């Protein structure tokens, strides 16, 4: 079978720019795909970076559940469901007051509402990538499919009873700490390789 691997595989790229992956593709992008499918319960094989039939079958299962075209290939729509693009934070808009028929006296100053322009904007935290084949390090404030998989795993192990929404909030952090205590790990609320290994056993 010809090698269909794309030369940009393995580079860090935004979700919308990820390459089409299909049987024959190889590289770190395939490992990333396999890892998130494993977290979500669709994939049970090894994280070997080889897009074989087992990976395609997991993709098809995910596509079916997500209401996507079931073709077994990881294209733009599939990537965007697995790793939703960061939401665009809209700037607050000033709502103009309603017009009235009352004419204000000439010496009355209509002060506009206070609208601070130097309010700090908090960017969405980006996942911290560790070495190839390892899990993402997850911590409070992160969002995405990896957090969704974490919440599902914590729920299955009866550490978490909150909403499975892909948002690493204080409830998720508390569940992680509870799991870390049970597995005799440092209860810091951050999901690193040791915590992943304990949760996925």
CATH of the domain at 37: 1.10.101.10
Given a cut of 70, the residues of the chain with pLDDT beneath it are 1-17, 86-135
**Alpha-carbon distance 99 to 104, whole Å?**
12
Q: How far apart are CA 30 and CA 83, in angstroms?
A: 14
| Structural domain boundaries, residue 158 | 145-199
Give the single-character DSSP code of 101: S
Residue 192 lies in a domain: yes
What are 30-88's pLDDT values in tens digits?
A: 998 999 899 888 999 999 999 999 999 999 999 999 899 999 999 999 988 888 776 54
The DSSP code for 96 is: P
Q: Does residue 90 form part of some domain?
A: no
Mean pLDDT of the chain: 76
| Token pair for 153 | 């795993």
Total tally of structural domains belonging to the chain? 2
Q: Are 30 and 50 in contact (CB under 8 A)?
A: yes
Per cent of the chain over pLDDT 70 is 66
């Amino acid at each position: 079978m010809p090698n269909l691997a794309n030369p940009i595989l393995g580079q860090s790229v935004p979700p919308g720019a990820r390459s089409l992956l299909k049987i024959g593709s190889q590289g770190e992008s395939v490992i990333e795909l396999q890892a998130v499918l494993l977290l979500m319960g669709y994939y049970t094989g090894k994280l070997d970076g080889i897009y074989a039939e087992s990976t395609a079958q997991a993709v098809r299962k995910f596509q079916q559940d997500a209401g996507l075209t079931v073709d077994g290939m990881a294209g733009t729509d599939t990537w965007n469901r697995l790793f939703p693009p960061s939401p665009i934070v809209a700037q607050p808009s000033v709502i103009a007051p309603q017009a009235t028929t009352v004419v204000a006296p000439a010496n009355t100053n209509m002060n506009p509402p206070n609208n601070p322009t130097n309010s700090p904007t908090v960017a969405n935290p980006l996942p911290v990538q560790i070495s190839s084949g390892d899990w993402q390090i997850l911590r409070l404030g992160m969002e995405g499919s990896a957090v969704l998989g974490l919440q599902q795993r914590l729920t299955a192990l009866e550490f978490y009873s909150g909403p499975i929404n892909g948002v690493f909030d204080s409830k998720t952090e508390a569940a992680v700490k509870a799991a870390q205590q049970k597995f005799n790990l440092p209860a810091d609320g951050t999901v690193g390789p040791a915590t992943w290994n304990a949760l996925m056993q």
